[in-house]
Amino acid sequence: MKNIAIFLFEDFQILDATGPIAAFEIAERIAPGSYHLKVLSMEGGTVRSSSGITIDSAIADSSQSLDTLIVVGGKGSRQAMHDHESTAYLRARAENTRRLCSVCSGAFLLAAAGLLEGKRATTHWHRSEELQRLFPAIRVEADRIHIRDGTIWTSAGISAGIDLALALTAEDLGEAIAKRVAQQMVVYYRRPGGQSQFSALAELGSDATSFSSLFEYMRTHLSERLTVEQLAAHIAMSPRNFARAFVREVGISPAKAVERLRLEVARERVETSREPIEQIASSTGFNDPERMRRAFVRHFGQPPQALRRVYAQPNTAGSLRSKQHPFIK
Q: Give the active site residues.
A: 104
* Sequence-distant (≥ 6) Cβ neighbours of residue 321 within 8 angstroms: 272, 311, 312, 315, 328
Q: Which long-range contacts (CB under 8 A, 24 or more apart) does 278-284 make?
A: 280/304, 282/223, 283/222, 283/223, 284/222, 284/223
Residue 131 to residue 260: CA distance in whole angstroms: 23
DSSP per position, 209-271: GGGHHHHHHHHHTTTS---HHHHHHHTT--HHHHHHHHHHHHSS-HHHHHHHHHHHHHHHHHH
Task: Write the DSSP string, 69-97.
Answer: EEE--STTHHHHTT-HHHHHHHHHHHHH-
Residues whose CB falls within 8 Å of the CB of residue 95, separated by 6 or more in sequence, listed in order: none
Q: Please report which helix (H) or strand (E) contains residue 3, including its range.
A: strand 2-7
Contact between 41 and 11 under an 8 Å Cβ cutoff? The reply is no
| Terminal Cα-to-Cα distance of the chain (whole angstroms) | 29
Does residue 88 contact residue 60 with C-beta atoms inside 8 Å? no
* CA dihedral of 58, 59, 65, 66, whole degrees rounded to 10: 70
Residue 110, SS3 per DSSP: helix
The Cα–Cα gap between 22 and 1 comes to: 17
User: Which conformational region is residue 114 in: left (phi greater than 0), alpha (psi within -120 to 50 degrees), or beta?
Assistant: left
